[in-house]
Structure 1
């Protein structure tokens, strides 16, 4: 027989049932194999007292509630279906101490992390909580049902936090990708602006060189024109002096 995964939750011995067994009613009474009683000639005992019958009914109801809270495990082995229900045996103080020791041992064996999010630690503590619910339900079904509500609320809260965590991680990844894409675009824009700046500086230097060349040529032209103008003025003065002297020479003998 292939045994299912070991758990901190205490189970009875598995029972093999045929495929034709009616499995539509999960709250049916658990299958029990009782040894054959030897034929005895002793007188038949009197029927039980009403109080004992009430105790049996209460025990049966607790077992049904226990099976509803913690459903039995089922697995197939070949053509056989094996069913293993949770144990309905009351626990003692020793069982609780052993459960704590077993929990610590499992945490060490499976190398569960002490802090942070750890699926292994969460699974082991969930099994331990189920075992505590089983122990409490055997003695008081109402208390077990209340603990079931607490367990379901914790699981629902954990599922909500897990969904929120996954959503935040996905949101963070999207933002990181957007930031990376934006960074790439910004780096490309910076590179383009640097190239444009370089081209503008080159054009500015060319325009400065042209401006300096024009100023130099203009100064040379002005200098040439000023020199030419001075030569013309000097020539005109010389010509004027000569003409004046000739005029004076013509006018002077007449006196």
Structure 2
């Protein structure tokens, strides 16, 4: 049997995809990414379930200008603070950032996913700072309550010591009064004793003088 010769095989490229199919595939992929980034809203109205998805329509320059105007209007209507911590301002800017992510994702899905990563990192950092802030507030409140309790205890102790001081002052006054009464009584007693002793001394001096006179009269010789 004679083998048949091999024929040269040339690879045949696949038929090119149409631009319509490519654009449809990108659109479906972008819609899936958008649904993953910004999940659809679901709510029940009556007995019917409603689902709202984010729009996959590309934006224009006029849309960006309108978005900025809407942001400024909402900030003014809801009276958001211009500086400091403001939940309203953060909420509105977060919604605006989500819209920017949506617009970028329609043009470039990879760029939108990167912005999503940045957004999640920012939210995580803010949540961490918020937790730290709440912890510090709770710690400060505990310390304030402890200080208030300590203040109340100190005030009670001061009141008790003031009462004890008043009692001691009262006892001191009573002891002073007793001491003054004893001194007065002893002074009067001493004065009485002194008068008595003075009388006795005067009597004894007088008796002594009489005896001395008598003795001198007896001793002196008569002429």
TM-score bracket, shorter-length normalisation? 0.7 to 0.9
CA drift of 1:175 comes to 2.5
CA RMSD of aligned residues (A): 2.5
Written as runs of structure 1 = structure 2, the 5 A alignment for 1:134-153 is 134-153=102-121
Query: Taking CA–CA contacts closer than 8 Å with sequence separation of 6 or more, which of the two structures ends up with the larger relative contact order?
Result: 1
Distance (whole Å) between structure 1 residues aligned to residue 214 and residue 17 of structure 2: 176
Residues 1:84 and 2:52 are matched in the alignment: yes
1:164-213, Cα deviation, whole Å (9 max, x unpaired): 22222222222222222222222222222222222222222222222222
Q: Which structure's residues are more often helix, by fraction? A: 2
Q: Measure, in 1, the Cα distance between the counterparts of 2:83 and 2:95.
A: 19
Q: Which residue of 2 aligns with 1:58?
A: 26
Distance, in Å, in 1 between the alignment partners of 2:210 and 2:114 is 139
Equivalent residue in structure 1 for 2:62, among 94, 103, 124: 94
Return the alpha-carbon distance in structure 2 between the equivalents of residues 128 and 242 of structure 1: 133
Match for 1:209 among 177, 182, 191? Answer: 177
Equivalence for 1:225? 193
Q: CA deviation at 1:240?
A: 3.0
Aligned length: 209
In the superposition, relative to structure 1, how do residues 245 and 49 fare at CA in structure 2: closer, same or farther (>3 Å)?
closer
Flag structure 2 segments of 5+ consecutive residues without an equivalent. Answer: 1-14
User: Gaps spanning 5+ residues in structure 1: where?
Assistant: 1-46
TM-score (norm 1): 0.72
Normalising by structure 2, we get a TM-score of 0.81
1:94 Cα offset (Å): 0.9
